[in-house]
Chain A
Amino acid sequence: MEEFYCVFSFQTVNHALAFEKMIKEEGIEVKLMPMPRQISTSCGTAARVSCDMEEIIKEICKRRSIETEGFHKIINKNENLWFSKFMNKKKKD
């Protein structure tokens, strides 16, 4: 399982939908997903993108006046969960 992924967050669901449409138009892969808990207490929508596309997408957003709230790198903290600890331990054994 990958250890981190990147998302853009938005203030409103509507901004997320506009982002998805325009970024897809530019031929870049994007997937909308529920806002990760680590970034926000809202139950809004975020857009998952490839981490190395950050600058290119930011440039497109600026050019096409797409509003985003921020760019975040989300690190999966699997090691905190008891069952992943258990699994890791098993692997080591």
Chain B
Amino acid sequence: MKGKGKMFLYGGIIGLVGAILMKLGNPGNMGICIACFWRDIAGAMGLHRAEVVQYIRPEIIGIIFGAFFISYLTGDFKVRGGSSPILRFVMGFFLMIGALVFLGCPLRMVLRLANGDLNALVGLGGYIGGIFIGTRFLKRGYTLGKSIKQPKVAGFIYPIIGVVLLVFLVIKPAFILFSKEGPGSMGAPIAISLALGAVVGISLQRSRVCTAGGFRDIILIKDTFFLWGLIGIFAFGLVGNLVLNLDTFNLGFADQPIAHTEHLWNFLGMVLVGLCSVLLGGCPIRQTVLASQGDVDAGVTVFGLIMGAAFSHNFGLAASPAGVPPNGKIAVIVGIIFISILAYGVVAETSKAKQKVGLKEAKVNA
């Protein structure tokens, strides 16, 4: 029980930080949202031109620094990679498309729920559904393969990206775009965002809180250990909101900040996110933390997320409070089918390899 209690408290830190950042100026129900924040960063770099969502989110920089320093100090910083990088990139890409149709990563989904947004409950159903589909592939032999040791210098790429982002954020060069209105113009004070981002990065690195892992383990090995992290995020997020953000607490479907009420697409968007997350072995926040502690594969996944965000806005896939555009609906369906085909391709190959091993074994026994 002590492990689960710890997990609950670490999750609680993240939920609480979400409530505090929202109080201090972050957009509605978006105290922390890894998908939205990477999307804002993609916008700030000019990779997409959606003028209301362009900002270098200090929380992301904080998470990178927090996870990097704590892993370096504790000896957890290990540079590994080479496990199906292009599949990871593509899955990160489609994960982001799903997230931007729902309007949030799994973490924001929980934070939305913790502030009364019941659309997130529909999203949660989809997320669990997507994870369920993913576990079917896992059971049948899906794997992205082993990672191997990489040159140590590769592990410093993300911390360096963090430094570069911080420099851009502080000196605001003309080529970096900052929203003048909309969610991208709203943010808690930079220093506080940075510090609380680092707290989240450290908590996640120490605890391994993982939204996808929580549901995956329930389905696959009937274990609730990681789920307690999620429960902690929700419980502390809820209490934090009731104390700090009571004026915005709104139980229901309608009039929720940066959300829409198209249930089918909230559901299917999160099916895509769940499917990609479980096949990748972690949701966007987990990928960001892993990338910061030397996991080069997770680093490639995050590049996929960024690219997915850019395409989402350039191709008109991303939803808005007005609803989900037709292109977004098509992209989600295409994404679910395409990612399933990729996973099936992997399964087909591993089962072939298994048959070979079986034959060899039979020969040896004979």
Contacts and interface: CB of A to CB of B under 8 A. Distances in A.
Given A43-B213, A65-B357, A32 B143 contact: no
B71 A13 contact: no
Interface residues of B, number: 36
Contact of A43 (B76, B142, B143, B226): B226
B275 to A, nearest CB: 15
Given A43-B282, A63-B361, A13 B220 contact: yes
A81 B281 contact: no
Nearest to B364: A63
A11 B205 CA distance: 18
Nearest to B289: A41
A75 interface: no
B361 A43 contact: no
Contacts of A18: 141
Interface string B218-256: 001101011000000000000000000000000000000
Contacts, number: 64
A34 B225 contact: yes
B138 interface: yes
A41 B293 contact: yes
Contact of B208 (A12, A13, A42, A45): A42
Contact of A11 (B139, B146, B223, B361): B146
A64 to B, nearest CB: 6
Nearest to A33: B223
B185 interface: no
B217 interface: yes
Contacts of A15: 143
A43 B2 CA distance: 17
Interface in B150-173: none
B147 interface: yes
Interface in B275-311: 281-282, 286, 290, 293
Contacts of B226: 34, 43
B361 A13 contact: no
A12 B143 contact: yes
Interface string A54-93: 0000000001110000000000001001000000000000
Given A18-B141, A63-B361, 18 more contacts: A12-B143, A12-B145, A13-B281, A14-B141, A17-B220, A32-B220, A32-B221, A33-B225, A34-B221, A41-B208, A43-B208, A43-B213, A43-B281, A45-B217, A45-B220, A45-B221, A65-B357, A78-B2
8 contacts: A13-B220, A14-B138, A32-B220, A33-B225, A34-B213, A34-B217, A43-B210, A45-B220
Q: Which 9 A-B pairs have the closest CB atoms?
A: A14-B143, A43-B213, A32-B221, A34-B225, A43-B210, A12-B143, A43-B208, A11-B146, A65-B357
